Amino acid sequence: MTARSFSRGFPIEFNKEKEMWVYSGTENVVDHLHYCSRCGRSPEILNINNRDRDVDSCIANIVIALNAAGLKTRASCCGHGRRPGNVALEDGREIFIISNFEEARKLDKLWPPLNMRNTVQRNICPEDYEMLHGTIDR
């Protein structure tokens, strides 16, 4: 059985003969600075917590801003078009980066709405409510 995974959104597999990870269907050894399958750019090398780290270019500004604000980051990934991006903070919390409004609303449906009473009191029309939270009983 061959071990399989992904690197920057590209499928990879472990080559037992070379004892290295290679890009699937090739003999090319996985390069941690390979370009991202989502944005097509190579990662940026950032000094985070006194260590050089490769950070996906499309979320590098978010990582820089979090660290500058005192929220020290531990790891990050843009998701490479396969899943939401994320930034892991040193304190154990994790921030998800959703690519657009529609995708975020799909994730909203995983949890019950917050402050339902306040939402109704503000006279949000049913169509807007459904867009934000899914269908409601009428």
Structure tokens at 9: 């959104």
121 CB burial (10 A radius; 0-12, 13-18, 19+): exposed
CB atoms within 10 A of CB 55: 22
- How far is it, in rounded angstroms, from Cα 27 to Cα 22? 6
Region 34-49 average pLDDT: 85
- Banded model confidence at residue 136, pLDDT cuts 50, 70, 90: low
CB atoms within 10 A of CB 114: 9
Question: 128: helix, coil or strand?
Answer: helix
How many percent of the chain have pLDDT more than 90?
A: 29
User: Tens of pLDDT along 74-122?
Assistant: 999 999 888 899 999 999 999 999 988 988 888 888 888 776 554 444 5
HSE at residue 39, side-chain half, CA atoms within 13 A, is: 15
Q: Is 64 left (phi over 0), alpha (psi -120 to 50) or beta?
A: alpha
DSSP structure class, residue 29: B
pLDDT number for residue 70 = 95
Kindly report which listed range (3-12, 31-40, 126-135) carries the lowest average pLDDT score: 126-135
- How far is it, in rounded angstroms, from Cα 98 to Cα 96? 6
Arithmetic mean of pLDDT over the chain? 83
